Structure 1
Amino acid sequence: MTCGQRMRSEFRLKSFGLTHNDRHVFTRTPWLSNQLPFVLYRAAVCLYQIIVYTTIRATDGKFRPKSLAFLTEWGYLLLTVHIVVSAGLCFGDYYISRSSREAAPDDTTENTAATGVLTTQTSLGQDSAQTLQLPWHYKLYWALYNVSFSWGICITILYWTLETPDLSVGSIFGHAINSVTIVIDVMVSGLPCRLLHFVYPLTFGVVYILFTVVYWATGGTGLDGQPYIYPYLDYGGNPVLAAIVAVLAAVVAMPVCHCIVFGLVIVRESLVRLFKKRSSRQRNHNVSLTAL
């Protein structure tokens, strides 16, 4: 598919939906045929994310229930949930694929006896081409991926541009390392991305803005008792600035960040194609040398 064809396909009405003909792209890496290293990567990242999240919450003396009103808390929690679900789906897919491969010899023998035709077993990397309807939990996971990744990057950008940086360990993990984790995950996984899926993180942004309005209207205060969560979302003291920031964050900054995720996916797909072409040429070259 050329770049022009890819972009035209991105702007079709059906691209708003959560449909995909291969669910394995959500649980496997396109870089390897043997998926065990990717399963171990998922396990390591899942363990890391849980430990970091619980440790920060347990050791951060500044943490109070009011902290849950902050966008950073929402974003980091969503990222943690996404990583845990990623590991679960990856383990499940690997276990099912491994069980299928172990059972395949018996099936092959039975089919050969019945039809006289020798069937070949599909490898773990090859069987991802099957076309199955995407289960509902994969769709939910895809939407979660869109929201957590786009807003994770958006939170990082907004924090370092609008806030006075806090260089505490918790702040670094919540506002910088989170995006590093996202970029690495995009590049090593096979997770797809569609431009029109910006509607999902956009919906999340609208929900959060409505939450901040309700929180302010019901008398909610910041960590130090100020009548706002963020100084630039002071609906009582400076409603014009608050409205401008809310609209720009949800309608401009978030779609830009979703485009960043989309761009990373395009880069990954291009690199994977180059890697596979090079590997194919190397195999052909080795076969030619062996034949000589």
Structure 2
Amino acid sequence: MVIVNCLLKCWRKCLLEHNSPSDFYVSCWQSSHLSWPLLLLRSILFLYSMTVLAVSVALDPYICYRFIYFTHWGFLAIVLETGFSTAISAYAHFKRPIDATFGLPWYVKTYWVLYNVTIPVAFLITVFYWGILKTSGKIQKYAPNPVLDVMLHGGNSVAMLMELVLSAHPSRLLHILQPLLFALAYLLFTVAYYFAGGLDPWGNAFIYPVIDWSKPQQTVIVVALTALFLTLMHLVVVAIASTRDAICRRFRNTPGIYNDGFGDES
């Protein structure tokens, strides 16, 4: 029975259910249930991400190759995440509070998945780009515009860090499956693209020089290390969420349910 109970607890942690729906549209830093402050901040993030996306598309000299890159997969996810978060806050503010009597609505669950995916992926992209691609000596090829370069590979993490710090809903350890599946989908795309004879804009038979399927052993090592680092980024997200809620709890001096990433809700 002990094993069964443990398995059931783990399974519940994998699910997208939370018994306080207001946590998805009220910041943990607020002492009331006002939804407009977070709506305003999320609207700014959504406007920022939409602007960066639009400008980057307009100025992209390799538009046909745009979505072979993980950066653009991740940034499109950010646009969707900020869009859903803004819509949820707007719905709660202008229409009515979200009812979770029969479980969280599909749009809240969709937002939660996007939230779980985009934050660690954004951190991964920033570190991977500046720490690995930059040192490869080919960074100039990926950065035709230096300002957009920073916005896409640095501003992405800043925006998602703000989303993380200002939110109130939990980040759970077992939700690591979601960003890993997102990364796996991209990995399978790179394999299919390689075997289909796909090239990068400069005629190379790889998308990134460190992920070259003509060198499978080297690539598998890079992929494995990247998966480990993505897992680490998710652990960092859970730790930040737990610290955020602990500070909010102390600052507001109120009891309640806080991030349940390391334990059960009670």
Identity between Structure 1 and Structure 2 (%): 30
| Aligned counterparts of 1:13 and 1:93: Cα–Cα separation in 2 | 29
Letter in 1 for 2:220: A
Q: What is the TM-score when the length of structure 2 is the normalising length?
A: 0.83
| Aligned counterparts of 1:159 and 1:262: Cα–Cα separation in 2 | 23
Over alpha carbons, which structure has the higher Rg? 1
2:250 equivalent in structure 1: 274
Seen in structure 2, the aligned counterparts of structure 1 residues 129 and 274 have a Cα distance that, compared at 3 Å, is farther
| Aligned counterparts of 1:183 and 1:132: Cα–Cα separation in 2 | 31
Letter in 2 for 1:260: V
1:64 equivalent in structure 2: 63
Q: Secondary structure at the match of 2:246?
A: helix
2:21 equivalent in structure 1: 23
Of 145, 149, 158, the residue aligned with 2:128 is 158
| Aligned counterparts of 2:200 and 2:87: Cα–Cα separation in 1 | 36
1:35 equivalent in structure 2: 35
Please show how residues 1-292 of structure 1 align to structure 2 within 5 Å.
12-32=10-30, 33=32, 34-60=34-60, 62-97=61-96, 133-164=103-134, 165=139, 168-236=146-214, 238-250=215-227, 252-277=228-253
Deviates most, 24-33 or 191-200 = 24-33
Deviation (angstroms), 1:221: 0.6
CA deviation map 1:97-153 (0-9, x unaligned): 4xxxxxxxxxxxxxxxxxxxxxxxxxxxxx899865111222122111111111111
CA deviation map 1:227-264 (0-9, x unaligned): 1001111111x2111111112212x0111111111111
Deviation (angstroms), 1:185: 1.2
Deviation (angstroms), 1:71: 0.4
| Aligned counterparts of 2:99 and 2:193: Cα–Cα separation in 1 | 48
Seen in structure 2, the aligned counterparts of structure 1 residues 247 and 29 have a Cα distance that, compared at 3 Å, is same
| Aligned counterparts of 1:82 and 1:207: Cα–Cα separation in 2 | 18
Seen in structure 2, the aligned counterparts of structure 1 residues 225 and 130 have a Cα distance that, compared at 3 Å, is closer
Letter in 2 for 1:154: L
Deviation (angstroms), 1:191: 3.1
Seen in structure 2, the aligned counterparts of structure 1 residues 170 and 36 have a Cα distance that, compared at 3 Å, is same
Letter in 2 for 1:77: L
Aligned residue pairs: how many?
239
Q: Secondary structure at the match of 2:213?
A: coil
On the 8 A contact 2:116/2:179 being kept in 1, the answer is yes
| Aligned counterparts of 2:193 and 2:98: Cα–Cα separation in 1 | 46
Q: What is the TM-score when the length of structure 1 is the normalising length?
A: 0.76
CA deviation map 1:51-74 (0-9, x unaligned): 1210121123x3321121000010
| Aligned counterparts of 1:16 and 1:245: Cα–Cα separation in 2 | 27
| Aligned counterparts of 1:260 and 1:153: Cα–Cα separation in 2 | 10
| Aligned counterparts of 1:220 and 1:175: Cα–Cα separation in 2 | 24
Letter in 2 for 1:247: A
| Aligned counterparts of 1:130 and 1:221: Cα–Cα separation in 2 | 47
Where structure 1 has 5 or more consecutive residues not aligned to the other structure, the ranges are 1-7, 98-126, 279-292
On the 8 A contact 1:67/1:223 being kept in 2, the answer is no
Letter in 2 for 1:235: W
